[in-house]
Structure formats: C-alpha cells, structure tokens
C-alpha cells in the first residue's frame, strides 16, 4: 500500500520501519530530517512537508509528541489536511486530546477523507518489535482497510467503536491507570519501608499473586530500584497524559479524583527537579512525604 508516515520519534521510527519491511511504499516526514536517513536507505522516500508526504498516500499515519505538533502537521502551513487525497485515511496514532481528535475527524469528513484514531500501548522497544497494542476507533470500513497495516505494527488490535474519540479516551484512561499504579505502589512501598520491610520482597509478593501483571512488574521494579534515569517515559510526559485524561473528563463532567491527585504529585515532583526522570519517579514524592531520604 502507499503509506505516509509523519513523525519519526522513538515510537514512530519503529512503526515506520515495520511498515516498510512489510513491503509498503513508504514516504516519511520528520521535522529533523536526519531521523529518516536509515529508512531512506532501506527504500523509503523523504518528503519536505507533511503535505508532500501524503500527496499520493492511501493511508497516512501521524505519530507526534503532542497536540501542538500534530495540529501544526495537520492544520498548519503545508499540513496534511490540504493534500491528503479524497478517500484516503489519516490514522492518528499519537496520544492526544479528545478535543483535537474530534476536530480532525470533523475536518477530514469535510474534505472527503477518512479519519481513524489509533493510539497505541507500548514503549519504544515494543514499537520496534512490532508488539504494540493498537486501539482503534472510526468508520468500520476504514478500519478494515487499515487492518493489514495495524497487524504489521502491533500484536493485537482492539476496535472500540465508530467514533474516533472512543479510542483516544480509552488510551487516556489506560495511561491514567498506569499513573494510578505508580502512585499507589509508591505510597504502599513508602508505608512498608517505614516498618522495615524489604520493598523488593513486597513487590515480589504482589506480582507473584493478585497483582501479577506487567504494569506492576515494570513499575514496581523501577520504584524499588529507584532507577529513574534514563527515563523510559519522562515524568513530564506522564503529567501531559494525565492532564489529557483530566481534560477529557472535564468536557464530559467526569471527576477523576485519583488523576487530580497524580497531577498534583507530578507538579510537585517537577517543581523539585524530577521532570526529566522516568514517570515512576513520581514515587519519590511519596517517599519524601514519609520522611524517607
């Protein structure tokens, strides 16, 4: 298939690579061009703008850092909205606000194009290994058309419904739950440490039984080891996602008190220098507040 890929960060690069490997005709664009060099060597074309990238595309993926970057690539000068062929599909894989997703959906419909929200779960290594989990929502027919591509970048696809925002809110809900695990495990670990319990034993007990899930193993391990550097996912990005969840709640009048609490802890953590550390360093606040060094 003729595929465009906008955004070659840690996540996007791995996804684009897999799409290319699978035999698709790939055109890529990234703000810093050099990120695309190896893909070009492997057969991809490098475009000068998002608009250039999508001009002949059947499907255009976007995978960008935040609302602002995506908005610029879609609605900005040389953005993809003006150039994507009628009938083609924009697959938005970024973790973005529900509001922007709704706005893109509306605009694409006006332009006779299709729009799918397809955020993914997984860290950069999963993107590279084609082991992402793809959560998609939008018109069923467009989803079916893109399914072969989703199979190339991920291990599983979950279809959430007809409204693209459904996929976005599911992604935000999921990320909020990851934050909840970090915050609650951070508190529990601070508690047991004050009683002299070895936190590794505590986490092993949890993950050996009721809490035997990757999320507790990954973050529980990071919290116990206090290994926050280098960051797998920065605290400030974690805060961004929690804010998007709060905003999604706000526009539908859904209070999310645990998310509010995580937001406040994250702001305190950032104010105290942890913004670039791994998201799991949020647990440092619980430790500090318990008087642990």
73 vs 175, beta carbon nearer a copy of itself: 175
Q: Compute the least distance from the CB of residue 267 to a copy of itself, in Å.
A: 4
Listed in sequence order, the DSSP H helices in the chain are 10-21, 37-41, 50-54, 67-75, 98-110, 124-128, 140-153, 164-194, 199-207, 214-225, 235-251, 257-271, 283-289
Q: Compute the least distance from the CB of residue 107 to a copy of itself, in Å.
A: 20
Query: Which one of the spans 20-28, 30-38, 167-175, 221-229 is the region binding a copy of itself (CB under 8 A)?
Result: 167-175
What's the CA gap between 39 and 17, in Å, rounded? 7
Contact positions with a copy of itself (CB under 8 A) in 73-102: 98
Using CB under 8 A, which of 32, 86, 252, 293 touches a copy of itself? 252
Q: Compute the least distance from the CB of residue 215 to a copy of itself, in Å.
A: 4
What's the CA gap between 130 and 122, in Å, rounded? 10
> How many CA atoms lie less than 13 Å away from 93 in the CB half-sphere?
31
- Is 171 assigned a catalytic role? yes
Using CB under 8 A, which of 174, 223, 235, 277 touches a copy of itself? 174
Using CB under 8 A, which of 56, 66, 71, 163 touches a copy of itself? 163
Q: Compute the least distance from the CB of residue 181 to a copy of itself, in Å.
A: 8
Of 51, 97, 31, 56, the residue nearest 247 (C-alpha) = 97
Q: List all residues 6 or more positions away from 292 whose beta carbon is below 8 Å from its beta carbon.
A: 190, 193, 194
Contact positions with a copy of itself (CB under 8 A) in 107-126: 121
Q: Compute the least distance from the CB of residue 250 to a copy of itself, in Å.
A: 7
Using CB under 8 A, which of 191, 232, 237, 276 touches a copy of itself? 191
Using CB under 8 A, which of 57, 89, 166, 235 touches a copy of itself? 166
Burial 43-56 (b: 16+ CB within 10 A, else e): ebbbbebbbbbbbe
Residue 13 contacts residue 34 (beta carbons within 8 Å): no
Active-site option among 171, 194, 217, 293: 171
Contact positions with a copy of itself (CB under 8 A) in 11-70: none
Q: Compute the least distance from the CB of residue 75 to a copy of itself, in Å.
A: 18
Q: List all residues 6 or more positions away from 253 whose beta carbon is below 8 Å from its beta carbon.
A: none
Is residue 250 a contact point for a copy of itself (CB under 8 A)?
Answer: yes
Count of residues engaged in binding a copy of itself, rule: CB under 8 A:
77
Q: List all residues 6 or more positions away from 29 whose beta carbon is below 8 Å from its beta carbon.
A: 4, 5, 6, 7, 36, 46, 47, 48, 49, 50, 52, 53, 73
Residue 60 contacts residue 52 (beta carbons within 8 Å): no
C-alpha separations of 184 from 39, 84, 86, 103, 273 in Å? 41, 45, 48, 35, 21
Query: Which one of the spans 6-14, 23-31, 105-113, 175-183 is the region binding a copy of itself (CB under 8 A)?
Result: 175-183
Is residue 185 a contact point for a copy of itself (CB under 8 A)?
Answer: yes
Contact positions with a copy of itself (CB under 8 A) in 195-224: 195-198, 201-202, 204-206, 208-216
Using CB under 8 A, which of 58, 67, 183, 241 touches a copy of itself? 183
Q: Catalogue the active-site residues.
A: 171
């Amino acid at each position: 298939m003729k595929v465009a890929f906008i955004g070659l960060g840690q996540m996007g690069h791995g996804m684009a690579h897999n799409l290319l490997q699978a035999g698709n005709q790939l055109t890529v664009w990234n703000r810093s061009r050099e990120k695309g060099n190896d893909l070009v060597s492997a057969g991809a074309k490098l475009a000068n703008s998002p608009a250039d990238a999508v001009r002949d595309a059947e499907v255009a993926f976007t995978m960008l850092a935040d609302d602002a970057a995506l908005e610029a690539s879609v609605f900005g000068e040389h953005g993809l909205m003006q150039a994507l062929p009628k009938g083609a599909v924009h697959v938005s894989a970024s973790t973005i606000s529900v509001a922007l997703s709704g706005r893109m959906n509306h605009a694409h419909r006006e332009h006779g194009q299709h729009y799918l929200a397809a955020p993914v779960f997984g860290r950069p290594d999963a993107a590279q290994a084609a082991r992402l989990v793809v959560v998609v929502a939008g018109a069923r027919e467009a989803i079916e058309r893109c399914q072969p591509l989703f199979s190339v970048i991920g291990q599983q696809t979950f279809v959430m419904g007809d409204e693209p925002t459904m996929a976005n809110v599911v992604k935000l809900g999921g990320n909020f739950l990851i934050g909840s695990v970090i915050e609650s495990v951070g508190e529990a670990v601070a508690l047991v440490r004050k009683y002299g319990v070895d936190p590794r034993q505590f986490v092993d007990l949890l993950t050996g039984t009721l809490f035997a899930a990757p999320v507790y193993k990954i973050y529980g391990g990071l919290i116990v080891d206090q290994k926050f550097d280098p960051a797998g996912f920065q605290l400030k990005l974690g805060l961004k996602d929690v804010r998007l969840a709060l905003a999604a709640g706000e526009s539908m009048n859904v209070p999310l008190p645990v998310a509010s609490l995580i937001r406040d802890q994250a702001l305190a953590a950032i104010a105290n220098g942890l913004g670039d550390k791994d998201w799991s360093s949020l647990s440092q606040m619980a430790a500090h507040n318990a008087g642990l060094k």
